[in-house]
């Protein structure tokens, strides 16, 4: 008998759980080794929730960190955390120990759920911090009734880098998550017949909301990969396994390179697989118009570019039906209000006039965890969220112009803080001063670039700096370029002038 039948839940379930119950017998996850039904995910999530609760009635928004790869166990753990009344804090599988420690202590996590080899890796830290560690591969708990939850309950804390040195925890409720999912289900017409590969990291919304949560809301099938395993994914594309594909621009650049270097017959087979999909989406960073056009020339597919952010989910999108304009992100998504605000404080109504994108709607996050001042600063007086991104409107479509802050870098779709990287590099024994910027890069969008003044008698190389940095920073934050200089460009106040740092890499 399925375990879910043993303890019927008398209380109303969260919308995502109710949706899963409607698709109970369908396949949710498919790998070469096994198929997992929605019912199996529900059953496992009830197990995980019971293991978390340990007899308590409700975890009352306790923070539970999740360290797992994309796949059924991740989703069952996510739902288990939610069904126990706790807040899920997904952490990066490949982060360094200091980064894990920051997320665990800042969020005040009391439990870590981990799977596979991650269990061993994080065990010493859990022990040092006095946290309960649950091995997801080995959970056997007596099932117990689960708490009733309201949509206003906090559901998730996602760590995002920004204009402060340390990442901030973005808090969303179940209502926010539901609004973010429903908007995309409507805009992109998700169906239960959809099949999508999942290869994005599971500590950011692109993987969590746009791919996984939308697919599971619709009753679709997900094929998970533990990373962007290009050969394996292209084999499945050739087999016409997918109707949908969602990726960051760097991935499309890599796919173009792969197609261009493939044998003609192989290329034709892969192209046919891409051409057969009903929708291919790009986002998380600017998709150069040239990449958009190259992709169309190669596959016949017009990529749909959309714009979003951890704090707001997706906000602006090119249309499913209608013109998908290269270099533009389209129009506001259902339920999302957008305005552009000039530096003068004026709300811009004219086209071709740049302003900051501000957002309002049921999709907009609640707060930065434990940072009321940062939360207050990120909203305008009248409650609109200030994204810090600049845009213009051109014949009805928004086009992103750049960011207000020079300290934010986007590399391969990851948002990085120059300040966080600078703080880490200043711990290097050979580095006296440093300035980090993002330099334009054909593959990564921007490449983390460090200008440093070294201490006398030292001889710092990029290779040595990368090796050292990897013990402190996630690999995608590690500088890709290094300029060793005698002094950093500074203004009259002694502050480093970041625009002038660019010229140090241009020569």
Residues 437 and 502 sit within 8 Å (Cβ to Cβ): yes
Q: Which is nearer to ligand MLC, 53 or 233 (CB)?
A: 233
393 binds ligand MLC (CB under 6 A): no
Q: Which stretch binds ligand AMP (CB under 6 A): 65-73, 142-150, 280-288, 334-342?
A: 280-288
Contact map string, positions 191 to 210, toward ligand AMP, x by CB under 6 A? -------------x------
Choose the contact partner of 329 out of ligand MLC, ligand AMP, none; CB within 5 to 8 A by kind. Answer: ligand AMP
472 binds ligand AMP (CB under 6 A): no
Among 50, 160, 210, 213, binds ligand AMP (CB under 6 A): 160
102 binds ligand MLC (CB under 6 A): no
256 binds ligand MLC (CB under 6 A): no
307 binds ligand AMP (CB under 6 A): yes
283 binds ligand MLC (CB under 6 A): yes
Q: Smallest distance from the beta carbon of 324 to ligand MLC, in angstroms?
A: 17
Q: Smallest distance from the beta carbon of 416 to ligand MLC, in angstroms?
A: 8
- For ligand MLC, the binding residues in 414-473 under the rule CB under 6 A are 414-415, 444
Among 43, 99, 367, 389, binds ligand AMP (CB under 6 A): 389
Structure tokens at 17: 């759980």
Structure tokens at 317: 């999108």
In 408-492, alpha helices (H): 418-425, 462-469
Q: Which stretch binds ligand MLC (CB under 6 A): 203-211, 332-340, 347-355, 394-402?
A: 203-211
Structure tokens at 84: 């126990």
Q: Smallest distance from the beta carbon of 200 to ligand AMP, in angstroms?
A: 11
Between the alpha carbon of residue 50 and those of residues 44, 146, 193, 469, the distances in Å are: 10, 8, 32, 40
Cβ-Cβ contacts under 8 Å for 96 (sequence gap 6 or more): 470, 471, 472, 473, 474
Q: Say which DSSP state 160 is in.
A: E
Closest CA to 160 of 311, 282, 283, 285: 311
Residues, the chain, total? 507
413 binds ligand MLC (CB under 6 A): yes
Q: Say which DSSP state 13 is in.
A: P
Choose the contact partner of 228 out of ligand MLC, ligand AMP, none; CB within 5 to 8 A by kind. Answer: ligand MLC
386 strand-pairing partners = 358
What sign does the CA torsion over 83, 89, 92, 98 have? negative
What's the CA gap between 345 and 411, in Å, rounded? 31
Among 329, 340, 421, 439, binds ligand AMP (CB under 6 A): 329
Residues 70 and 202 sit within 8 Å (Cβ to Cβ): yes
Burial bucket for residue 341 (CB in 10 Å: 0-12, 13-18, 19+): middle
* HSE-up of residue 488 (Cα within 13 Å, Cβ side): 21
Q: Smallest distance from the beta carbon of 502 to ligand AMP, in angstroms?
A: 18
Contact map string, positions 298 to 337, toward ligand MLC, x by CB under 6 A? ----------xxx---------------------------
445 binds ligand AMP (CB under 6 A): no
What's the CA gap between 446 and 88, in Å, rounded? 30
Among 250, 317, 358, 375, binds ligand MLC (CB under 6 A): 250
Residues in touch with ligand AMP (CB under 6 A) = 160, 204, 283-286, 305, 307-310, 329, 387, 389, 400, 403, 410, 415
């Amino acid at each position: 008998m399925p375990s879910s039948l043993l303890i019927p839940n008398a209380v109303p379930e969260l919308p995502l759980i109710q949706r899963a119950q409607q698709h109970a017998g369908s396949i949710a996850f498919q790998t070469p080794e096994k198929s997992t039904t929605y019912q199996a995910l529900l059953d496992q999530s009830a197990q995980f929730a019971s293991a978390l609760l340990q007899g308590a009635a409700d975890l009352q928004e306790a923070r539970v960190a999740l360290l797992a790869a994309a796949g059924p166990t991740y989703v069952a753990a996510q739902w288990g955390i939610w069904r126990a009344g706790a807040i899920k804090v997904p952490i990066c599988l490949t982060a360094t120990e200091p980064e894990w420690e920051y997320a665990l202590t800042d969020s005040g996590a009391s439990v870590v759920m981990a799977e596979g080899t991650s269990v061993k890796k994080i065990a010493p830290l859990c022990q040092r911090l006095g946290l309960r560690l649950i091995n997801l591969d080995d959970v056997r708990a007596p099932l117990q009734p689960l708490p009733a939850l309201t949509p206003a309950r906090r559901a998730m804390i996602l760590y995002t880098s920004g204009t402060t040195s340390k990442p901030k925890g973005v808090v969303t409720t179940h209502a926010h998550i539901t609004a973010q999912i429903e908007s995309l289900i409507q805009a992109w017409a998700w169906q239960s017949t959809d099949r999508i590969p999942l290869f994005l990291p599971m500590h950011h919304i692109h993987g969590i909301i746009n791919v996984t949560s939308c697919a599971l809301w619709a009753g679709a099938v997900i094929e998970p990969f533990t990373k962007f395993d290009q050969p394996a994914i292209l084999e499945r594309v050739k087999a016409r396994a997918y109707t949908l594909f969602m990726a960051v621009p760097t991935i499309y650049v890599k796919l173009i390179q792969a197609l261009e270097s493939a044998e003609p017959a192989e290329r034709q087979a892969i192209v046919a697989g891409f051409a057969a999909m009903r929708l291919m989406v790009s986002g998380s960073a600017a998709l150069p118009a040239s990449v958009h056009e190259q992709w169309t020339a190669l596959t016949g597919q017009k990529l749909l570019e959309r714009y979003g952010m951890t704090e707001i989910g997706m906000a602006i999108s090119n249309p499913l039906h209608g013109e998908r304009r290269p270099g533009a992100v389209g129009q506001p998504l259902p339920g999302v209000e957008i305005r552009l605000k000039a530096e003068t404080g004026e709300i811009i109504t004219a086209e071709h006039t740049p302003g900051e994108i501000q957002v309002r709607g049921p999709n907009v996050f609640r707060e930065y965890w434990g940072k009321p001042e940062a939360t207050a600063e990120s909203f305008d007086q009248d409650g609109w969220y200030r994204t810090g991104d600049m845009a213009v409107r051109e014949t009805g479509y928004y086009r992103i112009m750049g960011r207000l802050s020079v300290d934010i870098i986007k590399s391969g779709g990851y948002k990085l803080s120059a300040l966080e990287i600078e703080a880490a590099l200043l711990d290097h024994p050979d580095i006296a001063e440093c300035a980090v910027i993002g330099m334009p890069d054909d593959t990564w969008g921007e490449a983390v670039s460090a200008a440093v003044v070294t201490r006398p008698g030292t001889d710092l190389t990029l290779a040595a700096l990368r090796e050292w940095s990897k013990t402190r920073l996630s690999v995608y934050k590690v500088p890709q370029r290094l300029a060793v200089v005698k002094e950093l460009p500074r203004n009259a106040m002694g502050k480093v002038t970041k625009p002038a740092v660019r010229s140090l890499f241009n020569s």
